[in-house]
Amino acid sequence: MPVKQRWSNITVVTPTGQIASDLLIAGDRFAGFVPAGAEIGDNWQRIDGAGGILFPGIIDVLQHGFGNHLYNDTEPGAVDENSRRLLRHGVTGFLPSISCLPPASMEGVLSRLAAQCESAGGARALGVHSEGPCFGSPGAHNPENIVPPSLELAKRMLAATGGRLKAVTLAPEREGAEEFIDVLKAAGVSIHLGHSLARPEHIPRYVSWGIDAVTHMYNVMPTYPPRGMGMHVMSLTDALLAEPGLALGLVADGIHVEPQMVRLLAQLSPDRVFLETDAMKYAGTPGAEFEFYPGYWVTSAPGKAVRDRQGGLCGSSLAPDEAMRNYLRFSGRDLVQVAHATSLVPARVLGMENEIGSIARGRMADFALLDAATLEIRATYVGGKCLWGRHE
């Protein structure tokens, strides 16, 4: 018989508002709400949340590393270790991600990383995100590893991951992109525009091919100088803002995107923005220098992102709960809209919103208990089980 929990003395963040009712959990799923003090039988385990906030588990769809691991390296046990480490940051689902890798080694890395997802014992390793290798602009990725999209490449990536490829970031202006996208979409892969030099006027056509989201909005995206008389020229980011069906990924560290621009994005419909850390090795630690690819050394430092020896950005040092609190502060919005960005929109981008991403009847009981004063994580539950912290 599944364990039945009744949470009381809490505030619950749902997609439509904050609720002060008791929350019921039956087994691994949310079973609904009842008024505080209502009689529903004595076979429920009563849990006093001590005035805390129940927040939907954070889902990070772009994470190149965390703690002591870079996923490109596929060190044995890396995904499992990080899945457990991420629990203390309120994470219940994530996509370990790779960068642009040498063509000869990419499939092997994808295969090993996908296999590691199955053994994650903490937060759910939902699948693999391949950021690249079909880019228009390398950013901090190795330009020698960029290749054009093709039907054959899509098939090889799918075969290597054995059904666990969940997202691919690409530049849709590359020749062969439409066919590449068709194959991946048919397999249920979420397509993200990123590292692109696309012309703004072509964005509607690319979106019609099935692009779901944008990787790190405002980063590695071209702008144009004004025309005569100071007239603004529509940029790639303007064109992406204009597409109502596109979800916009945001690295909310206050470095990748200015806080005022974060506030601008937060004016959009709540279903438009989602947080992604783009975290690298040593995120969540005091930081250190490491080699991202041969000859390219970068340093991760809390609050300073990840930078190369010339000061260029190379991902973030963000912990996902830090991003959540930053977005709340930068955006001026409330916890309900923040929960859309941390949890519901990422789940929707992955086509999993009917299973995870919100505290609602029938969804998986993945959530974090927050301190009401500081919003620090007190405990994290996956499938109704406390895997980190304690509720008292």
- Answer yes or no: is pLDDT of 1 > 70: no
Check whether residue 244 and residue 334 sit in a common domain: yes
Q: How far is CA 306 from CA 66, 117, 222, 254, 316, in A?
A: 12, 25, 21, 13, 5
257 and 330 fall within a common domain? yes
Residues 297 and 155 in one domain: yes
pLDDT of residue 307: 97
pTM: 0.97
Same-domain pairing of 127 and 41: no
CATH number at residue 41: 2.30.40.10
- On whether both 117 and 8 belong to a single domain, the answer is no
Residues 368-381: tens digit of each pLDDT: 999 999 999 999 99
97 vs 363: CA distance, rounded Å: 25
- Indicate if 129 and 208 belong to the same structural domain: yes
Residue 229 pLDDT class (50, 70, 90 cuts): confident
Please give the average per-residue pLDDT across 384-391, as a whole number: 92
50-76 pLDDT, tens per residue? 999 999 999 999 999 999 999 999 999
Whether 312 and 375 map to the same domain: the answer is no
Is 192 found in the same domain as 75?
yes
Helix axes 103-117, 78-85, angle to 10 degrees: 50
Question: What was the pLDDT predicted at 392?
Answer: 62
User: In this prediction, what percent of the chain has a pLDDT beyond 90?
Assistant: 94
Q: By residue range, what is the domain housing residue 82?
A: 58-349
* 43 and 66 inside one domain: no
Percent of the chain with pLDDT over 70: 99
Please state the domain count of the chain: 2
Q: What is the mean pLDDT of residues 80-106?
A: 98
pLDDT band at 40 (very low <50, low <70, confident <90, very high): confident
What is the model's pLDDT at position 262?
98
Please check whether residues 248 and 368 belong to one and the same domain.
no
**Per-residue confidence (pLDDT) for residue 160, from 0 to 100:** 98
d(CA 194, CA 170): 6
Which one-letter amino acid corresponds to residue 374?
A: T
Q: Are residues 139 and 41 in the same domain?
A: no
Asked if 253 and 331 sit in the same domain, the reply is yes
pLDDT value of residue 330:
98
To 10 degrees, the CA torsion angle through 301, 214, 261, 220? 60
The CATH number of the domain holding residue 331 is 3.20.20.140
Is residue 291 scored above 90 in pLDDT?
yes
